[in-house]
């Protein structure tokens, strides 16, 4: 396992499932703003749900996973399984995410399921909990030129449909990125 001096976040399956959220988070990681980590179990969770909702897309999903791993080297947390049983969370099915964060030396867990990761438990391991909106806004505020550049490159990759900066911000706002969208409205010319 490589240990990075960069801020590290474990991305929960619920933030990797929505394509927009996944694209934003991984675009910022690819720009070296932070180190994105997850496990093969987390991959299996979001891809299983995606396949159930979009049958017949096995090849596309497998390709997306392959592209994610290629874009984010050292993304997979390994050898975390022995830590799962020792964790106590409101939803026992989330213990593997905390175990991965511990083993992966994560500074944060990024998830929509904030109630499933009590602060009292995470504080024990010096791990923060952030929603994707909080996390993305923090990255923009900490590294404005690089973060905005990453978002601009992300938007440029979206060939269908071609999207204006304002349309992208509107989409972010509709998809649970209200704080990020509010900030980006002031810097549309940069994205």
Q: Each residue of 17-63: pLDDT tens digit? A: 999 999 999 999 999 999 999 999 999 999 999 999 888 889 999 99
Based on the fold, state whether residues 153 and 171 are members of the same structural domain.
yes
43 domain-assigned: yes
Instruction: Note the pLDDT of residue 142.
Output: 94
3 domain-assigned: no
Instruction: Note the pLDDT of residue 4.
Output: 46
79 domain-assigned: yes
Size (the chain), residues: 191
- Estimate the share of the chain in helix, then strand, then coil, as percent rounded to the nearest 5: 60, 10, 30
Domain that holds residue 170: 143-190
- Name residues whose C-beta falls within 8 Å of residue 167's C-beta, 6 or more positions apart in sequence: none
Whether the Cβ atoms of residue 10 and residue 108 lie closer than 8 Å to each other: yes
In the beta sheet, which residues pair with residue 11? 110
How far is 98 from 38, CA to CA, in rounded Å? Answer: 11
DSSP for residue 104: T
Q: What is the average pLDDT value for the chain, to the nearest integer?
A: 93
Whether the Cβ atoms of residue 77 and residue 58 lie closer than 8 Å to each other: no
Based on the fold, state whether residues 27 and 44 are members of the same structural domain.
yes
Based on the fold, state whether residues 105 and 168 are members of the same structural domain.
no
Based on the fold, state whether residues 52 and 101 are members of the same structural domain.
yes
Whether the Cβ atoms of residue 38 and residue 76 lie closer than 8 Å to each other: yes
Q: Each residue of 100-152: pLDDT tens digit? A: 999 999 999 999 999 999 999 999 999 999 999 999 999 999 999 999 999 99
Based on the fold, state whether residues 86 and 156 are members of the same structural domain.
no
Residue among 12, 26, 20, 19 at smallest CA distance from 54: 19
- Name residues whose C-beta falls within 8 Å of residue 185's C-beta, 6 or more positions apart in sequence: 169
Query: Residue 169 — φ and ψ, nearest 5°?
Result: -65, -40
- Total domain count for the chain? 2
- Name residues whose C-beta falls within 8 Å of residue 123's C-beta, 6 or more positions apart in sequence: none
């Amino acid at each position: 396992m490589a240990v990075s001096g960069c801020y590290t976040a474990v991305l929960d399956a619920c933030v990797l499932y929505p394509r927009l959220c996944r694209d934003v988070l991984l675009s910022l990681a690819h720009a070296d703003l932070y180190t994105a980590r997850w496990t093969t179990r987390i991959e299996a969770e979001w891809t299983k749900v995606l396949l159930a909702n979009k049958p017949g897309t096995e090849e596309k999903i497998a390709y997306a996973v392959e592209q994610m791993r290629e874009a984010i080297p050292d993304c997979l947390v390994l050898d975390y399984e022995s830590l799962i049983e020792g964790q106590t969370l409101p939803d026992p099915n989330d213990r593997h995410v905390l175990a991965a964060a511990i083993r992966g030396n994560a500074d944060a867990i990024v998830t929509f399921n904030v109630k499933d990761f009590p602060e009292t438990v995470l504080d024990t391991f010096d791990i923060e909990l952030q929603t994707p909106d909080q996390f993305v806004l923090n990255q923009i505020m900490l590294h404005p030129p690089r973060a905005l550049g990453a978002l601009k490159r992300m938007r440029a990759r979206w060939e269908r449909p071609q999207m204006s900066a304002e349309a992208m911000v509107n989409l972010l706002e509709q998809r649970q990125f209200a704080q990020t969208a509010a900030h980006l409205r002031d810097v549309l010319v940069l994205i």
